[in-house]
């Protein structure tokens, strides 16, 4: 009897224990569910889309967007920007709130129009950027559907001895004492192909390989002729950049450095094509900057830099095409540095442009480069300090020799693709290959001197420089009067959207296609057109008995070619040389 009564009591006691466990199990179940949802919200969502949480997102590690990522909203052909404008500095000068535009400066309204959040920018971008149907119509300015006549466009190419071109490639191991250059001259100077961004057309291209690339493209030129009497221009397929590269890093006697240049002109003077107008219709292309070929002093001890190719009398008659020209000389003209992208069809270009329109961009600005501690007046140290201090709103890639980060196309392109602006300060010279990598990625370049682009690439970039770039005073950066982050944050979002679209439309103009394109003018086509127009002008002046070279002083060349005048200009202080 006693036992029978104890059994139910024990069961009732166990039931109570089980009832006590049930709330605990429910509690832990709810806890794990909430934790899982919290994790998804925190790491699976882009909080930069919500202004309330923008300050939180700035304190999170924000890695570069993966290469294949695009906007999650298929109706928006725009950029995602992950920054606000609340981090302005108290020491920003009045000049810091000025962005220079064509022929004038314009104050920026920082109260209502500044870039504040993604949502507002998306709304602004939607009516501005072309949609799918419009993109097909507005992709680029295409060539006429009918084949253009070659009248006035014929080019004759000299058949030079191989010692002036191909033999340099055979000596590729001598071109750089620290780095094997041979890999960069396969595929006619494009370098080895790489599977980058899930598409073809990408190569490991060296910035100084234009000599070879241009020669290869000229062999495909539709109006090449064997009759020099028909030619509007005569191309000399000499590789001066590779020639001088063999002697830049050791103390070679100047006579050794100049040997091939002198022999080339001796060879040309013996040709009837030269005698016709004393080489006025001749041009050559170099993949080195002009300063590598403008040695002005012959000490004989090897203490001066480069060769004197561009200082020779014959060069004064020719048109010299280079990746960076001299603002103070009359006969050299700049064309874009080679990038990593060399498409074989227009469709590859169009697909890439559309991809850059949709690319998510999480950084306000970026910089890839190395400091110049031994270069007097360099602003790179200050730029790198400001980038580091910008609390993840600036991406910094230091180009250290031991890592070779900046020689890896994926590293460079991913950084530019994830940024709205890229800083392009002068380095060893005015210009940088990085400018064109930036444009290729749809990233708006920021310059600190007009010498970096505006007076250089007259055949390829818009004269309205404010439509595609920002100019910040180099002197203001030196004197720490300007905060770069503040300047860029204050640009109206409508202006950012319009600038970015102009940059993306520039992509075909700054790339060298692998093969001749039928509908699109690339950097090669525009360079050839520029050369022919210049030579036509010289011939016209000769017929009229004029000598344009006497109309202005060489020191004002940058001004004459850019603005058509030598009158006083607001940029004069940028190009004043201390003699």
423-478 per-position pLDDT tens digit: 999 988 999 999 999 999 999 999 999 999 999 999 999 999 999 999 999 999 99
Given phi > 0 = left and psi -120 to 50 = alpha, else beta, which region is 538? alpha
Kindly tell me if the per-residue pLDDT of 266 is higher than 90. Answer: yes
Which residue did the predictor score with more confidence, 396 or 61?
A: 396
Q: Is 502 exposed, middle or buried (0-12, 13-18, 19+ CB in 10 A)?
A: middle
49 pLDDT band, cuts 50/70/90, is: very low
**Angle subtended by helix axes 346-358 and 493-506, to nearest 10:** 160
Q: Which residue would you say has higher pLDDT here, 106 or 253?
A: 253
Per DSSP bridges, beta strands 98-101 and 104-107 are: antiparallel
Q: Tell me what pLDDT residue 20 has.
A: 53
Q: Which pTM does this prediction carry?
A: 0.77
Which of 26-40, 194-208, 283-297: highest mean pLDDT? 283-297
Q: What mean pLDDT is reported for the chain?
A: 80
Look at residue 129 in the predicted model and tell me its pLDDT: 52
Q: Give the model's pLDDT for residue 50.
A: 35
pLDDT above 90 as % of the chain: 60
Q: How far is CA 291 from the centre of its chain?
A: 20
What pLDDT was estimated at residue 251?
75
| Domains contained in the chain, CATH given | 94-138+353-510 (3.40.50), 155-338+524-546 (no CATH)
pLDDT of res. 39 = 56
The answer to whether the CB of 419 falls within 8 A of the CB of 500 is no
Helices 118-128 & 493-506, crossing angle to 10 degrees?
50
pLDDT tens, position by position, 314-359: 999 999 999 999 999 999 999 999 999 999 999 999 999 999 999 9
The total of other beta-carbon atoms located within 10 Å of residue 24's CB is 9
User: How far, in Å, are 3, 123, 263, 275, 461 from residue 270 at the CA level?
Assistant: 128, 66, 11, 8, 38
362, pLDDT greater than 50: yes
Decide: residue 232, CB within 10 A, 0-12 exposed, 13-18 middle, 19+ buried: buried
The yes-or-no verdict on residue 234 having pLDDT over 60 is yes
Q: State the DSSP string of 322-352.
A: ESS--TT-SSEEE-PPP-SB--SSHHHHHHH
pLDDT above 60: residue 87 = no
Which tokens is 497 given?
């959207």
């Amino acid at each position: 009897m006693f036992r029978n009564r104890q059994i139910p009591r024990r069961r009732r006691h166990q039931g109570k224990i089980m009832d006590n466990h049930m709330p605990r199990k429910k509690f832990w179940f709810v806890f794990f569910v909430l934790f899982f949802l919290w994790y998804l919200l925190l790491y699976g969502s882009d909080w930069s889309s919500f202004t309330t949480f923008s300050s939180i997102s700035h304190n999170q590690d924000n890695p570069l967007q993966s290469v294949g990522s695009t906007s999650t909203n298929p109706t928006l052909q725009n950029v995602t920007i992950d920054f606000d404008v609340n981090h302005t500095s108290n020491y920003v000068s009045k000049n810091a709130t000025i962005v220079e535009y064509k022929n004038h400066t314009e104050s920026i309204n920082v109260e209502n129009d500044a870039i504040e959040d993604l949502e507002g920018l998306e709304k602004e971008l939607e009516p501005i950027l072309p949609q799918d149907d419009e993109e097909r119509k507005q992709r680029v300015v295409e060539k006429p559907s009918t084949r253009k006549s070659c009248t006035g466009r014929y080019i004759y190419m000299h058949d030079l001895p191989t010692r002036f071109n191909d033999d340099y490639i055979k000596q590729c191991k001598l071109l750089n004492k620290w780095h094997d250059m041979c890999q960069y001259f396969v595929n006619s100077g494009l370098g080895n192909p790489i599977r980058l961004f899930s598409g073809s057309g990408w190569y490991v291209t060296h910035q100084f390989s234009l000599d070879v690339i241009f020669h290869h493209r000229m062999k495909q030129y539709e109006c090449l002729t064997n009759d020099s009497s028909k030619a509007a221009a005569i191309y000399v397929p000499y590789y001066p950049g590779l020639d001088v590269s063999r002697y830049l890093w050791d103390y070679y006697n100047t006579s050794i450095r100049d040997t091939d240049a002198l022999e080339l002109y001796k060879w040309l003077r013996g040709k009837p094509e030269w005698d016709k107008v004393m080489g006025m219709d001749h041009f050559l292309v170099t993949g080195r900057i002009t300063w590598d070929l403008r040695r002005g002093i012959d000490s004989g001890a090897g203490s001066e830099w480069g060769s004197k190719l561009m200082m020779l009398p014959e060069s004064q008659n020719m048109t010299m095409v280079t990746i960076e020209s001299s603002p103070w000389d009359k006969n050299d003209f700049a064309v874009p540095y080679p990038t990593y992208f060399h498409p074989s069809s227009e469709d590859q270009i169009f697909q890439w442009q559309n991809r850059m329109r949709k690319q998510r961009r999480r950084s306000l600005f970026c910089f890839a480069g190395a400091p110049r501690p031994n270069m007097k007046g360099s602003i790179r140290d200050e730029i790198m300090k400001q980038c580091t201090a910008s609390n993840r709103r600036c991406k910094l890639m230091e180009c250290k020799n031991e890592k070779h980060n900046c020689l890896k196309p994926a590293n460079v392109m991913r950084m530019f693709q994830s940024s709205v602006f890229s800083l392009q300060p002068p380095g060893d010279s005015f210009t940088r290959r990085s400018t064109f990598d930036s444009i290729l990625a749809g990233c708006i370049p920021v310059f600190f001197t007009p010498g970096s682009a505006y007076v250089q690439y007259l055949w390829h970039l818009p004269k309205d420089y404010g439509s595609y770039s920002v100019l910040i005073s180099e002197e203001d950066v030196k004197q720490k009067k300007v905060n770069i982050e503040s300047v860029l944050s204050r640009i109206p979002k409508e202006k950012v959207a319009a600038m970015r679209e102009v940059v993306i439309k520039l992509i075909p103009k700054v790339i060298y296609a692998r093969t001749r394109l039928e509908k699109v003018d690339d950097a090669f086509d525009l360079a050839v057109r520029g050369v022919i127009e210049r030579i036509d002008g010289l011939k016209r002046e000769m017929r009229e008995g004029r000598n344009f070279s006497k109309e202005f002083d060489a020191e004002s060349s940058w001004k004459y070619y850019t603005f058509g005048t030598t009158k006083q200009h607001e940029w004069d202080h940028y190009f004043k040389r201390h003699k």
